[in-house]
Structure 1
């Protein structure tokens, strides 16, 4: 799955200080191998060069459903 700018994602990278945090994709760059790398902005900074398999999309519907249940 590819992501687009302004998608909300969760970063899964145990080597990153932002591991497990939710952020917003601010830039998509294609590598020389044709694979996308992402820059993700978080409340306290950003992580650049993030591969697609380290990201999980946060569905807008899930966020709205959780708010309705409370």
Structure 2
């Protein structure tokens, strides 16, 4: 599953201060190998260069 800007996701990265937190994708970057990495904005900061397999989609509650 690929993500797009403004998608809400949960980060799963035990080395991150934001592990387990919900954030919003603010930028999608593609590497020269065709892999996407993401910049995720959280309430009090952001993480860059996050690979897709470290993200979980947040279900819409509508």
Where has structure 1 moved over 4 Å in runs of 4 or more? none
1:42 paired residue number: 42
In structure 1, how many angstroms separate the alpha carbons of the residues matched to 2:34 and 2:53? 15
Across the two proteins, how many residue pairs are aligned to each other? Answer: 62
Could you tell me the TM-score, scaled by structure 1's length? Answer: 0.86
Unaligned runs of 5+ in 1: 65-70
The structure whose residues are more often strand, as a share, is 2
For residue 53 of structure 1, give the secondary structure of its aligned residue in structure 2.
helix
Could you tell me the TM-score, scaled by structure 2's length? Answer: 0.97
The structure whose residues are more often helix, as a share, is 1
The RMSD of aligned alpha carbons is 0.6
In structure 2, how many angstroms separate the alpha carbons of the residues matched to 1:22 and 1:28? 17
